[in-house]
Amino acid sequence: MFRSSCILTASRHLFLSSRWITQHLCKMSSSPQPVAAVCQMTATPDKEANFSVCNNLVEEAKQKGASMVFLPEGFDYIGSTREETLSLSESLEGETVSRFKCLARKLKLWISLGGFHEQGPNWETNRRIYNSHIIINDKGNIVSVYRKAHLFDVELPEKGISLKESSFTISGPSLIAPVQTPIGKVGLGICYDLRFPEFSVALQRQGVEILTYPSAFTVATGAAHWEILLRARAIETQCFVLAAAQVGPHHDKRSSYGHALAVDPWGEVLGDCGGEQPGLIMVEINLDKLKSTRRNMPVLEHQRDTDFYHSLEKIQL
């Protein structure tokens, strides 16, 4: 069973009446605003089972009126060992991406594949991969590929966390320009990129309207930082932030925090998938709100050039 209910503006914001929420949800399918679906799933090493889950989520999103669907990091699989992770990887021309291209074309829907295990350029010799965020348009064509720049090499013994992504993953060479989509101009990140504000500010300077951070956050770091970081990135860039997520146990060695989230340019939480089970949230992308937020608080106009923010060491008293 897939949970598709949306915890609008988070359950703690009690000022939203149940009547308002009901009316809002009923209007979404006929709204003139474009609608995005932000998904949550529990990937395992079983690629076929994972595709079935993704297929169901994407079809449900289409039925509910989405123009674009966001799947999380590791949508294809989450391996239980380094060896398994590498053995299951594919190229962009492989079966997994081809199936999603066909799905996008069939449903006439844009799809964000939030973190694909892509065999690297020297795969035959070094057996290393990229963590790649792929955008497929409604014609089934790949229109953008971003390869994760910041790799999660973290040791937190007191939290039981020990992950070294760089042991099998190549760091991506650069940011990718925002992609024009039916819901707005989307800037691509992946998971750990969320912790680097320079990343989102660089995309902001390129005109991004929607930042997306598909993720598989650990339970410990998610509970401590997930919502705070996503809201911070939205507030400082005055963008919508969409973050598809993995949730629950993938195998006996790893679990994810969940809480796939959508945040508006003012930092308000528009939807939260919770931390227990797969599902999706439907989010209206009201670019008029983005424009009014930026007009009323013109942070972009107040930004200094990049040299200014690197000038501290040059100042002499």
CA distances from 272 to 14, 23, 37, 280, 283 (A): 15, 18, 12, 9, 10
Query: Under a CB-based contact definition with an 8 Å cutoff, are residues 58 and 276 in contact?
Result: no
Using a cut of 0.85, tell me whether the model's pTM lies above it.
Answer: yes
Is the distance from CB of 258 to CB of 224 less than 8 angstroms?
no
Spell out the alpha helix ranges (H) of 34-89.
47-63, 82-87
Q: What is the pLDDT of residue 246?
A: 98
The catalytic site residues sit at: 73, 148, 191
pLDDT of 40-79, one tens digit each? 999 999 999 999 999 999 999 999 999 999 999 999 999 9
Q: Which of 306, 236, 298, 301 is nearest to 267 (CA)?
A: 236
Q: What is the pLDDT of residue 310?
A: 83
Token pair for 13 = 């914001």
State the pLDDT at residue 51.
98
> Please, what sign has the CA dihedral across residues 136, 137, 140, 144?
negative
The Cα 202–Cα 209 span in angstroms is 12
What are the angstrom distances between the C-alpha of 30 and each of 24, 34, 111, 138, 284?
11, 10, 21, 20, 11
The superfamily CATH assigns to domain 18-290 is Carbon-nitrogen hydrolase (3.60.110.10)
Q: What is the pLDDT of residue 311?
A: 83
